[in-house]
A = this chain, B = another copy of it.
Amino acid sequence: MSSAQSKASLPVIKRLPKYYRYLTSLQAEGRDKISSSELARMMGTTASQVRQDFNCFGGFGQQGYGYNVTALREEIGKILGLSLPKKTILIGAGNLGRAILAHMEFAEKGFTIAGIFDRDENFVGEILEGIPIQHTDALEQFCQKEKPSVAILCVPKMASQDLVRRLMGLGIKGFWNFSHYDIGVYYPDVAVENVHLGDSLMTLCYEMQALENKKGE
């Protein structure tokens, strides 16, 4: 890791995808330059926050003239490691797995979906996005041959525990985890990004109640 990168704290890193997303929109609109204050306004933050975040990575060029949209987007993409090739398998071809497969732009982030697995015999052989669904029993053979590094887990919590143990033994280094099994608690050295949709929905509950209470005050 470069010294510039290691200066960035987790909250800064967590904001990088959002910068990247806005810069991608700006680039698509044909914008050449953007000032820290305009970028901040778009993103609902402050210019000082933007400059502070970018300073963690060396500043990204002259502030007085604004940032070059294309160059800045490329720099942030590099820091995020979007071009690092990541051979990926999807486990769980139910509704959620299918939606994610159809919805996400994996290739532009360096992910190549190499295999799809489900324990439901009825799904086996079905083709999704050009890839045939295999039974999870075939995981060992597939991983030993193809050596994927990332697994997307769209399975129930009960199934995850055993699957994660198997996948760790098969060389999987990163998990995009939609299950409720907290992988990071048991395997601290692996890259895990959890998507807890239920937690997100409960947070919305809290916010709705807070609005109600505010109204009643």
Contact = CB atoms under 8 A, between A and B. Distances in A.
Interface of A: 1, 5, 13-14, 16-18, 20-21, 42-44, 79-82, 84, 86, 94-96, 98-100, 102-106, 109-111, 149-150, 173-174, 176, 180, 182, 184-185, 191-193, 195-214, 217
A176 B208 CA distance: 11
Contacts of A198: 17, 21, 104-105, 109
- Give the number of copies in the complex: 2
A23 B197 CA distance: 17
Given A193-B204, A214-B1, A209 B17 contact: no
Contacts of A149: 208
Given A185-B42, A185-B44, A199-B21, A191 B210 contact: yes
A182 B200 CA distance: 16
B43 A202 contact: no
A95 B99 contact: yes
A80 B196 CA distance: 16
B13 A203 contact: yes
Grouping DSSP codes into helix (H, G, I), strand (E, B) and loop, the A interface class, with mixed when no group exceeds half, is helix
Nearest to A82: B205
Contacts of A217: 1
What are the 3 A-B residue pairs with the smallest beta carbon separation, nearest first? Answer: A81-B209, A191-B207, A99-B99
A95 to B, nearest CB: 4
A182 to B, nearest CB: 6
B185 A13 contact: no
A20 B98 CA distance: 28
A211 B81 CA distance: 11
A8 B86 CA distance: 40
Contacts of A13: 203, 206
A201 B95 contact: no
B199 A81 contact: no
Contacts of A81: 205-206, 208-210, 212
